[in-house]
Chains A and B, each alone.
Chain A
């Protein structure tokens, strides 16, 4: 069985984000990149499947600051092959990212054939589309998103995927392989791998570079961002200030007024 995981780095929102001088984009110099959280879950799900069914796990990422660390960490966790697409300018959109992925997968980079392609269901910067359905359509594969569990059928030709619906309901779907799945959460939280193992992976595994495919200009629509700014939570909540006891007292007063006691 061969599983491919697609990884994308996104801005780390732990630090305050700064806006670039033109007021239309993030200041890329000022931020750190981190692996998109649901991509991390996709990797974990792939590792769980590999542990269960054996086979090979390939990880394909897009070049970005700190992507190497994410790839080596994937290897330390159990990925067999590491690849990254290189040569693009920073600040590409999600639909461009998806096209980079699908072209590299499709054009003889030695990745195919693959049984399952896993990636995160949605990243925090997916403004102009989602990776999973875009890649699925480009590769002419079935797609399903918001997946929280996968089981391979014995035949190896289909898989059962659990998808989350509202109100805690889940649905079990049968999917013909190969397919692309957008992972919401892995069956277990992403595992911990000690720093020593990541460092060992740095010494023993090589990251293969896949050059950026030249995108045929298909006249893909482009969004124009008119303005970008920090979302200051101004003006909605009335802020109560002071020591915990004072604030609690005031709040109780408010609750009492509203008959909430």
Chain B
């Protein structure tokens, strides 16, 4: 494992997360570029069989402990530090998700190693690892080098979801698994009491083929019917980014993004959504993404296939009208 590229695999509620595969895909590229092996680390309790799907890696380290059943950052970090201290990899890629957030930082402070967040890409350049980061809500790109002098390994890279396609990081095979034992204190100050499932909404966004998404650019709750009309014309449903849900204009079941749902419809129309990474995370895999925003510099245009710079409230009814006109002409298109 020494000098390898390591990826922290996430397991939650009995499954490996999609983001893990995305991160593994990136890890595979970096490892190949650096000419070193790719190792996946999985922590959990009684879930060794999940290691099979981490086949993209050259080897897997599996850490089993009852206290690792749920991911609690400090506990998980303690286990990881024990594993990583022995044979230090060159880099550790940690997904920036609700599940793993904080682990990267904690490894950094406990092992005295550099941490680079917001990574969109990692390259090997002159034998050094260079991260490409997107920060300030998506408005600024930076190329960052994590100095990895001796004692400064592994460099920890916090990786944005969606950094590669999940399929590139998915492979089922009998990958060699090393079981690592860790010692964890029995009495932990944090304990999961229970999960609270979301209320069932009237609509299951993950099953819709067409989604019309509204963000702050819709300006007023009173303009929602305009979006609903477009959704109806297209045969889909309305969803929203976090600010719209926070304002109470749409219920929680309609939230798309980091703390909401991840959706993959055939068509995603983003209206007045700036495209901050937290939202993009939830819709980047949509088949066709069309974005309307009055700000030509909005990050959403980075992920959209088609973009319209204009006033959402003017464009929206025009879109609906055009869709209906076309349907009238070819009713069974």
Chain A residues proximal to chain B, CB less than 8 Å: 11, 13, 16-17, 26, 95, 121-122, 124-130, 132-134, 136-138, 142-146, 160, 162-176, 179, 182, 184-185, 189, 218-233, 236-241, 244-245, 247-249, 251-252, 254-256, 258-261
- Other-chain contact of A128, B99, B116, B290 (Cβ < 8 Å): B116
B193 near A: Cβ within 8 Å? yes
Restricting to B132-176, which residues have a CB under 8 Å from any CB of A? 133-147, 152
CA distance A220 to B115 in the complex (A): 11
Is A179 touching B189 in the complex (CB atoms < 8 A)?
yes
B1 near A: Cβ within 8 Å? no
Nearest Cβ on chain B to A111's Cβ, whole angstroms: 21
- Other-chain contact of A145, B102, B115, B266, B322 (Cβ < 8 Å): B102
B35 near A: Cβ within 8 Å? no
- In the complex, residue of chain A having the shortest beta-carbon distance to the beta carbon of B106: A133
Known A-B contacts A127-B133, A165-B98, A256-B333; the reply to A184 vs B259 at CB < 8 A is: yes
Is A142 touching B140 in the complex (CB atoms < 8 A)?
no
Residues of B within 8 A of A (CB-CB), count: 95
Is B101 touching A232 in the complex (CB atoms < 8 A)?
no
Known A26-B140, A169-B197; 20 more pairs at CB < 8 Å:
A164-B259, A170-B198, A175-B190, A179-B190, A182-B102, A221-B113, A221-B147, A221-B152, A229-B141, A230-B139, A239-B306, A244-B318, A247-B318, A249-B322, A252-B322, A252-B326, A256-B333, A260-B210, A261-B323, A261-B326
CA distance A21 to B323 in the complex (A): 48
Which 5 A-B residue pairings sit nearest by Cβ, starting from the closest? A168-B198, A237-B307, A244-B318, A221-B114, A248-B322
Known A-B contacts A129-B108, A171-B192; the reply to A233 vs B298 at CB < 8 A is: yes
Known A-B contacts A13-B136, A260-B267; the reply to A137 vs B246 at CB < 8 A is: no
Nearest Cβ on chain A to B286's Cβ, whole angstroms: 11
Known A-B contacts A173-B192, A224-B147, A240-B308; the reply to A248 vs B321 at CB < 8 A is: yes
Main secondary structure of the interface of A (DSSP, over half): mixed
B261 near A: Cβ within 8 Å? yes
Known A-B contacts A166-B97, A237-B304; the reply to A248 vs B117 at CB < 8 A is: no
CA distance A241 to B283 in the complex (A): 24
Is A236 touching B301 in the complex (CB atoms < 8 A)?
yes
CA distance A127 to B104 in the complex (A): 11
B310 near A: Cβ within 8 Å? yes
Nearest Cβ on chain B to A138's Cβ, whole angstroms: 8
Q: A17 to chain B: which residues have CB within 8 Å?
A: 136, 139-140
Nearest Cβ on chain B to A23's Cβ, whole angstroms: 10
The residue among B142, B196, B247 with the most chain A CB atoms within 10 A of its own CB is: B142
Is A146 touching B310 in the complex (CB atoms < 8 A)?
no
CA distance A13 to B255 in the complex (A): 24
CA distance A160 to B298 in the complex (A): 38
CA distance A248 to B318 in the complex (A): 6
**A interface footprint on B257-280 (CB within 8 Å = 1, 0 otherwise):** 011111000110000000000000
Is A143 touching B109 in the complex (CB atoms < 8 A)?
no
Nearest Cβ on chain B to A144's Cβ, whole angstroms: 6
Q: A132 to chain B: which residues have CB within 8 Å?
A: 102
Q: B325 to chain A: which residues have CB within 8 Å?
A: 252
CA distance A219 to B137 in the complex (A): 30
- In the complex, residue of chain A having the shortest beta-carbon distance to the beta carbon of B198: A168
B314 near A: Cβ within 8 Å? yes
Q: B74 to chain A: which residues have CB within 8 Å?
A: 133, 136-137, 142-143
B327 near A: Cβ within 8 Å? yes
Nearest Cβ on chain A to B14's Cβ, whole angstroms: 13
Known A-B contacts A170-B195, A231-B302; the reply to A224 vs B99 at CB < 8 A is: no
- Other-chain contact of A130, B105, B112, B191 (Cβ < 8 Å): B105
Nearest Cβ on chain B to A257's Cβ, whole angstroms: 10
- In the complex, residue of chain B having the shortest beta-carbon distance to the beta carbon of A170: B196
Q: B240 to chain A: which residues have CB within 8 Å?
A: none
Is B307 touching A143 in the complex (CB atoms < 8 A)?
no
Is B189 touching A176 in the complex (CB atoms < 8 A)?
yes
Is A125 touching B102 in the complex (CB atoms < 8 A)?
no
CA distance A255 to B74 in the complex (A): 48
Is A129 touching B105 in the complex (CB atoms < 8 A)?
yes
Is A133 touching B192 in the complex (CB atoms < 8 A)?
no
Is A219 touching B112 in the complex (CB atoms < 8 A)?
yes
Known A-B contacts A133-B105, A168-B261, A261-B327; the reply to A226 vs B189 at CB < 8 A is: no
Is B141 touching A260 in the complex (CB atoms < 8 A)?
no
**A interface footprint on B283-323 (CB within 8 Å = 1, 0 otherwise):** 00000101100000111111111111110001101110111
Is A172 touching B193 in the complex (CB atoms < 8 A)?
yes
25 A-B contacts, Cβ less than 8 Å apart? A95-B115, A125-B136, A127-B116, A127-B117, A127-B118, A133-B73, A134-B105, A142-B74, A145-B102, A163-B98, A165-B12, A171-B192, A221-B115, A223-B145, A223-B147, A225-B144, A227-B142, A245-B318, A247-B318, A248-B321, A248-B323, A252-B322, A260-B210, A260-B234, A260-B267
B130 near A: Cβ within 8 Å? yes
- In the complex, residue of chain B having the shortest beta-carbon distance to the beta carbon of A178: B189
Is A174 touching B105 in the complex (CB atoms < 8 A)?
no
- In the complex, residue of chain B having the shortest beta-carbon distance to the beta carbon of A222: B147
Known A-B contacts A146-B101, A251-B290; the reply to A224 vs B138 at CB < 8 A is: no
Is B314 touching A244 in the complex (CB atoms < 8 A)?
yes
